[in-house]
Amino acid sequence: EDKVVQSPLSLVVHEGDTVTLNCSYEVTNFRSLLWYKQEKKAPTFLFMLTSSGIEKKSGRLSSILDKKELFSILNITATQTGDSAVYLCAVHIQGAQKLVFGQGTRLTINP
C-alpha cells in the first residue's frame, strides 16, 4: 500500500525561528513529490520535486528531495505569523491519475 507520512503532526514555534517539516514515503512507483500550504481554505501549491538533491526555493521557503532515502524536507526560515498553516505533502505515483497525501503538519507561529 502506498504511504506518505509527515512529521511532526503539530509544531508551535516563535516568530523568527527556523522550522523543518518532514515527509517520508513508501510508494510503488514514484513520479514526483508535492508540497501544499493550507490556511483556512483551499490548499495552495508550493513546490513540486522530481529529482534528488535539487533544492527548490521560494523566498524563505525551500524544499529538497532524497530519492534514495525516500524523504523530503520543507524548510521555512525567519518564520512569520502568516506562515501558520497546515503543510501537506503528497506523492504522485507513476501511471496513476492521483496523489497520495500525508496527514499534514499543523504549524503555528506565535508572535
Partner 1 sequence: DVKVTQSSRYLVKRTGEKVFLECVQDMDHENMFWYRQDPGLGLRLIYFSYDVKMKEKGDIPEGYSVSREKKERFSLILESASTNQTSMYLCASSVGTTRYTFGSGTRLTVV
Residues lying near partner 1 in the complex (CB under 8 A): 4, 6, 9, 31-32, 34, 36, 41-45, 48, 88, 90, 92, 96-104
Measured from the CB atom, the residue of 26 and 80 that comes closer to partner 1 is 26
Closest CB 96 distance from partner 1, rounded Å? 8
Q: Edge-to-edge strands of the sheet including 19-26?
A: 3-7, 19-26, 71-76, 61-66, 56-58
Measured from the CB atom, the residue of 91 and 109 that comes closer to partner 1 is 91
64 in Cβ contact with 54 (< 8 Å)? yes
* Mode of pairing for the β-strands spanning 10-14 and 105-110: parallel
CB atoms under 10 Å from CB of 82, counted, come to: 9
Cell numbers placing 78: 525567519
Closest CB 16 distance from partner 1, rounded Å? 28
Closest CB 44 distance from partner 1, rounded Å? 8
Measured from the CB atom, the residue of 34 and 109 that comes closer to partner 1 is 34
